[in-house]
A and B are shown apart, each in its own frame.
Chain A
């Protein structure tokens, strides 16, 4: 993987660029009329996945000389191919961010082959050697932030019962559920996470039902992995439960109930990408990172978070940010009693085995199928 080759120097440059803020735009090597296109699968004010990307786009809008064009609610069919082409042909976009998972293959790959001189950056895809070199995929190890949420949730819960409203039992989601549970068990070894899969990314009615049903079963802290956490956050807060957010900071929706949350940090990453292109560097085709690389972040703690919880969470966060902490450290048992990571095996964040996760760890109540 090329990831190893993004040296510390690049990252330092990236953060320096961020600190410089708008000053960088004035000295940028980008042409004055550089146009960047963002495509979202849902609405860009969903308090969730799409809003996180729109916040990244908004960070780029502050840089002089860049023109940002955005289109929301674009289906994962040839509609997204046509949207990309339309942005290229009618708006002159030279860098495109089709941000939904289903845009990658075949749609973005097809466009990258068709327009070999333009750049395409995809969120969540797995770029491989057979894909075009002007295409790239980036993603964040957001399970690190979920782990911190888990610690806070474990301390805050009075019943020891946590709830997780999840979309589908796919590796990225399972990894979040497992990291959240492992974090909670640091705080309270007896804590359990009850998970409900709604079956799809945006199912507000089912998400509300799942939230209510979890609370009815005694769950008092909830989190989620769906496209728009708004439904879960608002319903849980109304019922008097505490919440950990996801994708973006949802504390404006529930200021009292919001403990913390796992957030994307696209507003740091996207300016970094633009800076790299302006400097004539190529963005690694396979780009990953977590708290350390500033691709994900943790929401500020809410007032209900105890001092003890804050201290423990901050401590682990500091270790993760320094890069010397492993979440998936053996021995780890799944919830059927099978050892999934043997004692003595450390699965670091970049371990490809974690990308294939198909189990729920001990302490999770629920099944993957």
Chain B
């Protein structure tokens, strides 16, 4: 990542003389790569200074980060496994963002999706695994989708701010999960860790052959690409972007804004719900409080770093997956506390948000007006 961008910077320095027309023609595209890349390099540099203040060598830091995240085949799998749920939860923020909505409740949709998927599996004890898995996918998506639709509906029909309502719904989802897992859905054998019954080894969806990475990664890639096509290459997506750009204009041209909001919120929640289903069917095998691992919240970060673009979510999720994969190595080799990884995430976030101001303002990328 670091070297790529460094090359990019160099190329920009040389290219104008050689081909002045090219940069102006592709200015916007180049900006989308150059600005976040530069923000990332800046953030890593600042983090390097931060680490140096603790008396550690920043070069060691970069080396271990690379080794822990992308240095070996194992590291790659570690990174991809951590990225998988983030792609899905990031879509929960990125899709409503097309409508100008800021939904930050992906964690709640993930929990409800996981509960619904577990419920579906437990309700179908003697069905063939494929049927159970399909039912789990449907239940997870409907569960998560309905959850975010609540926020959408509150916004559309009751004027409640969707950011606040979606965040508060996370805590309600967690309370519902704890209530059910410690109550009616509890497996009596789960003494010191209240959990539901297991969905059964046969119903687990397993890993992508030849790897340790579960199928959630493939689900995430499909969902991200499908979202991209939906938003940028369909009439529905165009309508959503129009409504996101100017809701009054959208109403004047006769777009059904309420329907758009509800549909997009459903799809957003369904992605996070699917992430919950995958956590149950590929990792935990049952539902318990372990599911509230914060994937929904990291997803918000991914979506904002990707500037709410469904395709850009994929590399950003892999980048953040890599940062968290390498976090362990930073602790073990450099003796840094876990919080240092959060510091890095925070610095990146601040840089990317600040870099937003640069779009369309880089002189040599501007077209002649």
Contacts and interface: CB of A to CB of B under 8 A. Distances in A.
Interface of A: 43, 69-79, 82-83, 85-87, 89-91, 101-102, 106, 124, 126, 168, 170-172, 199-200, 355-356, 369
Interface of B: 67-68, 72, 74-75, 78, 81-82, 178, 182-183, 191-194, 212, 214, 279, 283-285, 288-291, 293-294, 324-325, 328-329, 331-332, 337-338
Contacts of A69: 332
A92 to B, nearest CB: 12
Contacts of B194: 168, 170
A70 B192 contact: no
Given A101-B193, A102-B290, A89 B72 contact: yes
Contacts of A200: 289
Given A75-B293, A90-B68, A200-B289, A83 B328 contact: yes
A86 B284 CA distance: 20
A170 B182 CA distance: 10
B68 A355 contact: no
**Those 9 A-B pairs whose CB atoms lie nearest each other, nearest first:** A73-B338, A76-B290, A75-B293, A69-B332, A82-B78, A78-B283, A77-B293, A170-B192, A89-B74
20 contacts: A43-B337, A43-B338, A70-B332, A71-B332, A72-B337, A76-B290, A77-B283, A78-B81, A78-B283, A83-B328, A85-B74, A85-B78, A86-B68, A86-B78, A90-B75, A101-B193, A102-B193, A106-B285, A199-B178, A200-B289
A218 to B, nearest CB: 30
A72 B337 CA distance: 8
Contacts of A172: 192
A171 B191 contact: yes
A356 to B, nearest CB: 6
A122 B174 CA distance: 27
A91 B283 contact: no
Contacts of B191: 126, 170-171, 355-356
A72 B75 CA distance: 19
A139 to B, nearest CB: 10
Contacts of A75: 290, 293-294
Contacts of B329: 86, 90
A82 B82 contact: yes
A82 B192 contact: no
A77 B328 contact: no
A209 to B, nearest CB: 16
Contacts of B192: 101, 124, 170-172
A369 to B, nearest CB: 8
Contacts of A87: 328, 332
Contacts of A90: 67-68, 72, 74-75, 329
Contacts of B82: 79, 82
Contacts of B72: 89-90
Contacts of B285: 106
A101 B338 CA distance: 20
A102 B290 CA distance: 7
Contacts of A73: 338
**Residue from B183, B194, B291, B329 having most chain A Cβ neighbours under 10 A:** B329
Contacts of A76: 290, 293
Nearest to B332: A69
A307 B194 CA distance: 42
Nearest to A199: B178
Given A43-B338, A102-B290, 6 more contacts: A75-B294, A78-B81, A89-B72, A124-B192, A168-B194, A170-B192
